[in-house]
Amino acid sequence: MAGSRCARVRLWRWRRNPLKRPSDVIEAWVVLAGWVLILVGSLIAGLVAAAAVERSAERQRAESREVPAVLVEDAEDRLPSRVGTDHRVWATVRWTSTDGSTHTDEARVTPRSRAGTTVTVWTDGNGQITAAPLTEGETQLHATWGGVLAGAGTGGLVWGAVWMVRLGLERHRMALWAAEWERISTRWGRKTG
């Protein structure tokens, strides 16, 4: 005899059914609200994060200036920087800001550069050495990945919250089932289990 198969009933929590419990209806609404929040919340979080990255890059571009600086010491004896693809080294440089004040700090320069060599450094609005601002392509890449990660994180948080609510509803449902079985078994005059 072939095994019997039960037909899978989709969306059963939304249909009329005398066996449907109130917790089933609550669970259906929680799942629906969760999916809507995941879709809408992830989209909004991704767009907000991408816009924030773009604004930050624009502000960095607006505040950064290229400044000519002079090497104070030879750069040949320095250890290379820790970045594997960039073979520049750290050396002390001196530059004059737009207000006429002289600054000295360390910057990354090409190896074996001699003292007195002019190099270009980037400074921020306070006259401190900073990294070069992001290019348009780098900004788009950072904004895209920032938006994707923010959207995925938001979706994951909402999904986790929905899952926890469903777990609580399942525990409540099982407690109700246990109480119902207890009531039925005592009516029959014997205990189950």
Q: What are the boundaries of each domain within the chain?
A: 22-58+138-187, 65-132
Residue 78 has pLDDT above 90, yes or no: no
Residue 1 has pLDDT above 50, yes or no: no
Predicted model pTM: 0.69
> Dihedral (C-alpha) 63, 66, 70, 71: value to the nearest 10 degrees?
80
Residues of the chain with pLDDT > 70: what percent?
83
DSSP string, 98-132: TTS-EEEEEEEE-TTPPTT-EEEEEE-TTS-EEPP
65-132: CATH class: mainly beta
Residue 93 has pLDDT above 70, yes or no: yes
Q: How confident is the model at residue 120 (pLDDT cuts 50, 70, 90)?
A: confident
What's the rounded Cα separation, in Å, for the pair 140 and 131? 18
Predicted pLDDT of residue 139 = 95
